[in-house]
Amino acid sequence: MSFGTYNFPSFKQKSKELNRLIKQAEVGWKIEQPILQNAGLDRGMKVLDLACGPGITSTYIAQLVDTGTVLGLDLNPDFITLANQYKETYQINNVYFQEGDAYQLNLPQKDYDFTYARFLFQHLEHPQNIMTNVWQHLKKDGTFCIMDIDDTWLTIYPTPPSFETLKQQAADAQKVKGGDRFVGRKLAYYMKKAGFEDVQTTVLTVSMDDLGVKTFLDITTAFKLEQITQLTNATNFDLSTIYEFCENHPVTGLVGVFIVTGKKGND
């Protein structure tokens, strides 16, 4: 079992990170829904949501597939508990959650019409293994859809003091544990190597104007502090200076989100 570079149980500010995940899921759904539908997600499908976290996106997907079903899988038992609570609160009856490792999918092979991995691959030391695993568990003509980041596309201008240093040190910290803040550009290659066909990549830019200053920074930047604490030479950052700079200057901010889809052809 490996949490990769995202080990929620080790976070110093768990409630803050959970709030970030919830906000990210709720804000992002209006973007993700048409992406998933364009990728072929449809009523009646059997869907696997890898690294589902607290399960919010899984429940949204369940409502889209209607008569279909969704299985949300995550390594963290705390997330599975939260996901089941969320399911019960909103009475979504066609979504299920279980603890599980994407590296060792103890699930029936050739069983899923659609698999989704949302902000998972940036945390993986062996991404190719996951690609192969997903391929084996999809039905013929099944779809794999990945949404992830590439920090080259994360920019703020004018640049707040220490922002670029924070980005670099967060990338270095994830790399030490096998993660990759620049995985977006590599996903299509990994997918083709695993045998997927009709692989397509789209880069969606989301701006600070779209989200507002605080939400943009909460989602894209605040999390990085949990990463850099793993570095022995980490700088002691004060995030408030970045927030204050962006709130008090006419800045522009952009983040690039990579959406990569592929189809499983013949075995």
DSSP 87-148: HHHHT-TTEEEEE-BTTB--S-TT-EEEEEEES-GGG-S-HHHHHHHHHHHEEEEEEEEEEE
Q: Does residue 247 lie in a domain region?
A: no
Query: b/e per residue, 111-145, with b = 16+ CB within 10 A?
Result: ebbbbbbbbbbbbbeebeebbebbbbbbeeebbbb
Tell me what pLDDT residue 167 has.
92
Q: Which of 162, 168, 112 is CA-nearest to residue 136?
A: 112
Question: Does 227 map to a domain?
Answer: no
42, 70 in Cβ contact below 8 A? Answer: no
Q: Does residue 3 carry a pLDDT above 60?
A: no
162, part of any domain: no
How high is the pLDDT of residue 4? 60
- Has residue 213 been placed in a domain? no
pLDDT for 1 equals: 45
Least confident piece of the model among 29-38, 142-151, 204-213, 222-231: 222-231
Is 170 domain-assigned? no
Average pLDDT, the chain: 90
| pLDDT at position 186 | 97
Percent of the chain at pLDDT exceeding 90: 69
Q: Output the domain CATH number for residue 133.
A: 3.40.50.150
How many structural domains comprise the chain? 1
Let me know: does 62 contact 70? Beta carbons within 8 Å. yes
Q: Is the dihedral of CA 195, 40, 140, 180 positive or negative?
A: positive
Residue 229 located in a structural domain: no
- Return the pLDDT at 14: 67
Residue 223 inside a domain? The answer is no
Q: Taking residues 9-32, what's their average pLDDT?
A: 76
Domain interval for residue 111: 8-150+179-205+256-264
- Give the span between the Cα atoms of 163 and 223, in whole angstroms: 13
pLDDT at 67: 95
Least confident of 118-122, 190-194, 224-228, 250-254: 224-228
Of the candidate ranges 5-14, 105-114, 180-189, the one whose mean pLDDT is the lowest = 5-14
Q: Which percentage of the chain shows pLDDT scores above 70? A: 92
In a domain, 60, yes or no: yes
